[in-house]
Amino acid sequence: MITIDQIRRIVPGEEAARLATAQYDRLLAELEVLEPGDWDTVTSCSPWTVADVVRHMLGAAEGHASIRESLRQVLHGLRHKADHGGNGLDAMNALQVADHASLAPVHLVEALRAVAPKAVRKRMRLPRPARRITMAMDPGGSTAAGMPPSLTLGHLFTVVLTRDVFIHRLDIARATGRTVRLDGEGEGRLVADVVAEWAERHGEPFLLRLTGSAGGGYASGEGGPEIELDAAEFCWILSGRAPAPHPLLETRVLF
């Protein structure tokens, strides 16, 4: 059983870059084996299909790789947030999907494979002063209740964007009836970091048992509730994709 203060958080550096690259590599390998009909399957990010999820990830990676493209997307989000329940991120994501609507699946995969390495490099080179910039999260639109109201650019670029690729891998796998490959060195590190952030946000004692190859046992304080879940399901719930089966799980984290 690992106590929360024993979890080594993911910080800017070699490990963060390696984890980000691994998530893209695994995503691309999983996309390669999809059947033609899988791409039109609606995911949990309704009304997005599998193809739309990949269009979003491609557009996001292009923004991470280019300051000019990032600014274009952010400005679009600000200008069109009223069309998306007041959520600028939803507006920006919709633009990413629309920008790549004409690309066939094979070309989506080719384009994502080409831009992903540059996206990771640019993210990891965010200047130290910029890492401290805090951005507010719009509460409307698709933002689930219990999410943090803000985050720093450093946390976004170092950790959250890697989690985003991971959770979209789960979206695609669940939509197509496939199994996502998880391990302790890759997804296990991401899950542990999620546990630490979740525990810090709610501040309550607990005993958490996460099953599966990316899981583990985690504890904070004494006398708290005992919760047992599959590690991927734990992330699924904290991302806002499923109802929380316990009040502590109503405290979400960003993916």
Start-to-end Cα distance in the chain: 25
User: Which pLDDT score is estimated for 184?
Assistant: 87
The owner of tokens 């316990």 is 246
**This prediction's pTM:** 0.96
Q: Which regions in the chain score pLDDT beneath 50? A: none
User: Which pLDDT score is estimated for 51?
Assistant: 98
Local structure of residue 222 (DSSP, 8 states): S
Residues constituting the chain: 255
Please say whether the beta carbons of 160 and 255 come within 8 A: yes
pLDDT in tens, 188-217: 999 999 999 999 999 999 999 999 999 999
Please say whether the beta carbons of 52 and 97 come within 8 A: yes
